[in-house]
Chain A
Amino acid sequence: QVQLVQSGAEVKKPGASVKVSCKASGYTFTGYYMHWVRQAPGQGLEWMGWINPNSGGTNYAQKFQGRVTMTRDTSISTAYMELSRLRSDDTAVYYCARNDITALGYYGMDVWGQGTTVTVSS
């Protein structure tokens, strides 16, 4: 079945970096954008950006420009999101979600990972 499985919870100190992985299965990895969305405790959803696994092209929300890097390894159908210079307000659950490429994303983010909790604390 189609699924996205994310890496486990992380605890980091302020100023450090974190790299979260998202392994896809059950579908053609290069046929779907991979988006990253985060949710701080008790807050709403915040879109961070996407990567095109086929080309490696990326589109980041301006808020995260310079701190976020999205990459992929097509040989193992895995996308990665690395966030650097972590602050306490980066504490959140980070989700990956796929979105079709062929229809220019029209069908929305239809499959989501289970989420990865990142805690930033000294």
Chain B
Amino acid sequence: EIVLTQSPGTLSLSPGERATLSCRASQSVSSSYLAWYQQKPGQAPRLLIYGASSRATGIPDRFSGSGSGTDFTLTISRLEPEDFAVYYCQQYGSSPRAFGQGTKVEIK
């Protein structure tokens, strides 16, 4: 069973700054089946990135994903006010399709 560890737990940044979120897997993630989701309070998660680096439909290009194997990164190049939220990574190459514990991006 693959365990995903996200860091940091909380990221305090100002609008316009760059955010770098990390997701580390306990074993190699098959075929880069790694996704990133954004969740705002009271809302369902929203798919941002699939296949480690492909943006989902309608996702702005300030969001980018990278990595392979066991180390993955979500980068938000310039934070907009609507980007302050919790971000989860998920591996879906094997079962169970575990999520990381989340990184909260908050306004500094």
Closest 4 CB pairs of A and B: A108-B50, A112-B44, A108-B35, A61-B96
Which chain B residues border A106 with CB–CB below 8 Å? Answer: 31, 33, 50-51
For the complex, give the distance between the alpha carbons of A58 and B92 in Å.
15
0/1 string, B65-88, CB within 8 A of A gives 1:
000000000000000000000001
Q: Which residues of B, 39-75, contact A by the 8 Å Cβ criterion?
A: 39, 44-47, 49-51, 56-57
| Interface pair B99/A47, CB less than 8 Å apart | yes
Interface SS of chain A: strand
Query: Does B98 make an interface contact (CB < 8 A)?
Result: yes
**Cβ-closest chain A residue relative to B101:** A44
**Cβ-closest chain A residue relative to B95:** A59
Q: How far is the CB of B30 from chain A (nearest CB, A)?
A: 10
Q: How far is the CB of B99 from chain A (nearest CB, A)?
A: 4
Query: Does A113 make an interface contact (CB < 8 A)?
Result: yes
Which chain A residues border B47 with CB–CB below 8 Å? Answer: 108-110
Query: Does A95 make an interface contact (CB < 8 A)?
Result: yes
